[in-house]
Amino acid sequence: MGESARDRLQQTIGYEFRNPEYLTLALTHSSYAHEVSHGSRTVECNERLEFLGDAVLELVTSEYLYETRRDLNEGSMSKLRASIVCEPSLGICARDIALGECLRLGRGEDNTGGRERDSILSDAFESVIGAIYLDGGLEPARAFVQKFVLSNLKESQLFKDAKTRLQELSQQMFKCAPTYALVREEGPAHRTEFTMSCSVDRFTEVATGHSKKHAEQECAAQMIKVLQGLRKE
């Protein structure tokens, strides 16, 4: 990871590391560490930092839900927290800050689309939380989570299983089911982008994703917003 990528990321998240090595570690995937480690030289990956960041994320999210969702019992809060900190949701948060561009990946992972893989992005995102916690303590880590995770709570909930939500809404409003179609498929095999359409009655939305399923969820989420807007008219 070059200095410019690290600087851009710090500017995006609004936090400058006193010890930049924490950030470098957070962005070092195990594939890179294994590739460059040899002999007596061992490069650490972000897995331990991810463990720490996951704990900080759960704490901050739990605190937020406790303070803001007094209508929920323990079980409901647990379910909502799980939806917020799940891999697809954190993958979305990671893409919002262009985290994939900054990762240190092994050549194999890089060539097979690792920079867009939810599992890698979500782990790195949690590692960044852990890095901020080690570098500056709980307060800046809390601020990061609030800005880049919890502020997107409504969007994350909308995205989560948007196809199921849209199915219910479409049946209620138009007595029909949504239909999906592949519009186009572009890019090399390891980085193919799929553009899908979603149609309900006379309305059609189009979205692009790294898989057909992801693109369908995206256009379903867009369609939900359209239909909800109709209800308000």
Residues 59 and 30 in one domain: yes
**Number of domains within the chain:** 2
Work out the number of other CB atoms within 10 angstroms of the CB of residue 72: 15
Domain boundary pick from 138, 159, 180: 159
Q: Does 126 score more than 90 pLDDT?
A: yes
At a CB cut-off of 8 Å and minimum separation 6, what does 143 contact?
A: 15
Residues 123 and 177 in one domain: no
Residues 148 and 125 in one domain: yes
Write down the H helix ranges in the chain.
3-13, 20-26, 30-36, 47-68, 74-84, 87-96, 107-111, 118-136, 138-148, 153-159, 162-174, 212-232
Mean pLDDT over 141-153 rounds to 89
Residues 93 and 122 in one domain: yes
pLDDT value, residue 69: 86
pLDDT value, residue 144: 97
Residues 155 and 166 in one domain: no
Please tell me the distance from the alpha carbon of residue 59 to that of residue 155, in angstroms, as a whole number: 21
pLDDT value, residue 82: 84
Domain boundary pick from 137, 159, 181: 159
Residues 181 and 125 in one domain: no
Q: Does 158 score more than 90 pLDDT?
A: no
Mean pLDDT over 153-174 rounds to 75
Residues 141 and 30 in one domain: yes
The answer to whether the CB of 57 falls within 8 A of the CB of 85 is: yes
User: Could you tell me the pLDDT band of residue 153, with boundaries at 50, 70 and 90?
Assistant: low
Domain boundary pick from 136, 159, 182: 159
Please tell me the distance from the alpha carbon of residue 149 to that of residue 126, in angstroms, as a whole number: 11
Q: Percentage of the chain with pLDDT > 90?
A: 52
The answer to whether the CB of 1 falls within 8 A of the CB of 104 is: yes
Residue with tokens 């800005």: 147
Residues 146 and 173 in one domain: no
Gyration radius from the chain CA atoms: 20
User: Could you tell me the pLDDT band of residue 67, with boundaries at 50, 70 and 90?
Assistant: very high
Q: What is the pTM of this model?
A: 0.69
**What is the torsional sign of CA 44, 50, 14, 160?**
positive
Q: Does 136 score more than 70 pLDDT?
A: yes
Q: What is the pLDDT of residues 190-231, one digit of tens each?
A: 667 889 999 999 999 998 877 787 788 888 888 988 888 887
Residues 9 and 120 in one domain: yes
Q: Does 96 score more than 70 pLDDT?
A: yes
Residues 141 and 176 in one domain: no
Residues 189 and 175 in one domain: yes
Q: Percentage of the chain with pLDDT > 70?
A: 93
pLDDT value, residue 59: 97
Mean pLDDT over 91-118 rounds to 89
Residues 93 and 174 in one domain: no
Q: What is the pLDDT of residues 7-54, one digit of tens each?
A: 899 999 999 999 999 999 999 999 999 998 887 788 899 999 999 999
Instruction: Indicate which CATH number applies to the domain containing 140.
Output: 1.10.1520.10
pLDDT value, residue 6: 84
Please tell me the distance from the alpha carbon of residue 163 to that of residue 175, in angstroms, as a whole number: 16
Residue with tokens 């240190």: 104
Catalytic residue set: 54, 126
Task: Quote the domain boundaries for residue 201.
Answer: 162-232
Q: Does 88 score more than 80 pLDDT?
A: no
Sheet with 193-200: list strands edge to edge.
Answer: 179-186, 193-200, 203-209
